[in-house]
């Protein structure tokens, strides 16, 4: 258990060299437009995305990817479904760049069980959660713990983006993470039980923010 936990922390670490810190997923535009201007606004924005976007689509899809990687089937279909869900060019480029970087990283780790990556063969453009799921399976991480770590890593990156763009102080960042972290277990429990027919990433405000960010005059982040 201690080794699996260590591997899980490695997967969720901001030190994972896949470029996560360069993306804000529309948050930078929300700040620039005045929609998010303080700690409370940042919490509402990130928590809504956690609930309605991550929790009802990306997290349950990741759970399916974990199963598909273990079974060695259907992974390509789930990968394509995720890529098709990316509403903007920047979001699509983000997940493909991070997926490429993640796969390259795993190939460079000598002790990583490369055979677990076999389901990725034939997938020309693996998305980030697709490769991440295979890494979690390779390290024997249970689905619940994997989803918790994945969502925590996403929330941490969003909080860091808020610190830089609003801007907020370090204590505010920790308050954000405390509040977001308390919501993650419920989101994970629902994601694991959600039927594929009920997946939904309907979040028009998020899609608009990401679209507007593509033409924003001055930017710190790539999305």
pLDDT at 137: 96
* CB proximity list for 46: less than 8 A, separation 6 or greater: 27, 155, 158, 159, 162, 176, 180
Structure-token pair, residue 22: 């360069």
Domain boundaries, the chain: 24-213
With tokens 């994945």, the residue in question is: 150
Among 134, 159, 136, smallest CA distance to 14 is for 159
**Residues 167, 161: contact at Cβ < 8 Å?**
no
Structure-token pair, residue 199: 């997946």
Could you state, in chain order, the average pLDDT of each consecutive group of 10 residues for the chain (223 residues)? Answer: 87 94 96 96 97 96 97 94 96 97 94 89 95 96 97 98 96 98 98 95 93 92 92
Structure-token pair, residue 121: 């063969």
pLDDT at 1: 59
pLDDT at 122: 87
- Say how many Å lie between the first and final Cα of the chain, rounded: 36
Q: What is the dihedral of CA 149, 195, 53, 76, to 10 degrees?
A: 70
Burial of 186 (0-12, 13-18, 19+ CB in 10 A): exposed
Please give the CATH number for the structural domain made up of 24-213: 1.10.4190.10
């Amino acid at each position: 258990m201690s080794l699996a936990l260590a591997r899980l922390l490695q997967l969720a670490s901001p030190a994972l060299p896949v470029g996560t810190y360069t993306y804000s997923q529309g948050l930078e535009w929300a700040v620039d437009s005045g929609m998010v201007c303080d700690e409370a606004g940042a919490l509402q924005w990130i928590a809504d995305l956690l609930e309605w976007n991550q929790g009802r689509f990306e997290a349950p899809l990741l759970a399916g990817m974990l199963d598909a990687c273990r079974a060695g089937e259907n992974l390509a279909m789930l990968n394509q479904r995720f890529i098709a869900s990316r509403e903007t060019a920047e979001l699509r480029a983000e997940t493909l760049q991070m997926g490429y970087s993640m796969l390259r990283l795993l190939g460079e780790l000598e002790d990583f069980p490369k055979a677990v990556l076999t389901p990725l063969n034939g997938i020309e453009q693996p998305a980030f959660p697709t490769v991440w799921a295979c890494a979690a399976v390779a390290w024997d991480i249970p689905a619940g713990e994997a989803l918790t770590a994945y969502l925590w890593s996403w929330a941490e990156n969003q909080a860091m983006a808020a610190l830089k763009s609003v801007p907020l102080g370090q204590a505010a960042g920790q308050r954000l993470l405390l509040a977001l972290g308390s919501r993650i277990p419920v989101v994970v429990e629902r994601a694991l039980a959600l039927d594929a027919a009920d997946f939904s990433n309907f979040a028009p405000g998020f899609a608009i923010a990401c679209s507007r960010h593509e033409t924003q005059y001055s930017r710190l982040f790539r999305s």
